[in-house]
Chains A and B, each alone.
Chain A
Amino acid sequence: MTEPAVELDGIWKRFPGVVANAGANLTVRPGTVHAVLGENGAGKTTLMNCLAGVYLPDEGTVKLHGREMRFSSPADALAAGVGMVHQEFRLVPTFTVAENVVLGSAPRVISRPEINRSVAELAERFGFSAEPERPVWQLSMGERQRVEILKALWRDAQVLILDEPTAVLTPQEAEDLGRVLRQMVGEGRSVLFISHKLNEVTAFCDEATVLRGGATVASSVAIADVDSAALAELMVGSSTKSTETDAQRNTEMGDVVLAVDNVSVTDSRGLTAVDGVSFEVRAGEILGIAGVAGNGQRQLTDAIAGLETCRTGSVALMGDDLTSATPRDRFRAGLAYVPEDRLGVGLAPKLPIAENAVMRHYPKMRRGPILLWDRAKEFSAELVSRFEVKVGRVEDRLASLSGGNLQRLLLGRELSSEPSVVVASQPTRGLDVHGVAAIQRLLVEQRDQGTGVLMVSEDLDELLVLADRILVMSEGRVAGKFDPAVASRAEIGAAMAGVS
């Protein structure tokens, strides 16, 4: 047996209040695509960062081809042949593809045509087309990802780490990526593929290592020998139940709680993002809005919540016109909003958990100009325990929470004032199996209590299970209304694609 390309042994990494890796192990054979699986917060990214020189592990050893390594920077790791493509790309938008690829490792005297040619050759060798002279800002996300990969290959990385690479890709681009990865491992390189999407793992990868709670629970499982269900079970630690059994369709609909009438919104570029959308949400129903991302969903929910101005039309809550009300007044009137961007819109990442927990409620916790912090902390502690947010202390930084916990905190905060309408935009996106189930359960509970729920999701399956009615948005308009009990996926898919 050949020497493993990568060998991580007993890696521990602690952050204030959190143990991210608790003795994780990982062995990668050369010439394979190796999946690193785990729920959000399982420690996948931290482990990979330890391998890529971003973090220095507290304990444990990192070996490359049998030699022990100690990387103090990503540059060190790269010099040793480990390249990482992060979820957020690190490219200079105004530079060309070739300039980005060679940035930091260019020869002293730069001959532009020569560099363009060698970058093009490199791309061709791995089976993707690249236009070396195009500036990066013109590229799609998928194209940018390829530039990141090329950057690593240019430095002759033998081990390439891809952190959730398909999150930003179209299905077609994801397929192309799979082909490129094959080509790379064909030359004896190794690829580490971080994901929690099982279908991709089974399609692209040779072996998988599964992490749970920072430790390795299954090491180098051959993908050919297991099925998705078994992998999922390893990830979550118990048999997963479909959410379908939880959702009981509501038959009794109440009064109209949210009325959206002929709303149009202009986006920041001056284009029409929402074009005359009308619908009603009734008490005790989940109205699902389906559609491909970028068809005006975000602007629509922002307009309902008061973050965008309606160019035309009106928004009414419980019969009261709120079209020109402030976001705060809308919340006070009973409109809860879970925005698509949790960090940065729904939550303030630099502030402590408690300060985030009371962001909607502090007007009720003041005496004159003074905020009553004791009451705020009490409220936060209750919120955290009622919605099962796993935190150290409520004074800790928000950044210490995992994605699922962030969403629980956010949703919990929005629900704790007993709203009459909940608008939730992509509430389960990016969450792990447990997280998705928890959030869905909370929304279903709300519906069952008689709240009107407007749920925007790109996951049609989710809507088919949860929603009482489905609207499809396409190019800013309502492209179809469906009853999930009878509608076929094909019909809805056609509406999403804009086929009328």
Chain B
Amino acid sequence: MAQSDTVDETRRDFLFVATGAMGVVGIGAIAWPLIDQMNPDASVLSLSSIEVDFEAVEVGQAITVMWRGKPIFIRHRTAEEIRVAEETPLDILPDPETDMARIERSQWLIVIGICTHLGCIPKGQSIGDERGEYGGWFCPCHGSHYDTAGRIRKGPAPKNLYLPPYAFLTDTSIKIG
């Protein structure tokens, strides 16, 4: 009698645990679509990487493209700008980084055009814009100066301009994102 009771109890426990476990799995499986629906949808994701061709950008010029709702600055640097950027000693930089670490090909500087201070868009893309004391970009909101490698040199911004993930497809085109 006692024997069969234990067997019965084991069977019952197994049943309860198995049913409960399936219930938990089922609820989890239902929950996922309900959560995932708030993630960026297919039409947003299809814009999350863009291809940019900048063959027409002459030395000294710059273009701005939008990527994931942010401006991307692409500047065709002059030899002088490259030289200055490379020769700047690291110890005078608030956020030390070599020029090499910030570029793939030295004539093309590609940065996210958002001031690392409070998110304004720095000036220096259009001809005639103020480019700040270091010839890169100047943020008019609180006076941050960036150099020709997009590094912070003077003003309240704590970091260099961030770099987007990108790869060269050809000599004059890249894929961002």
**Interaction A to B:** no
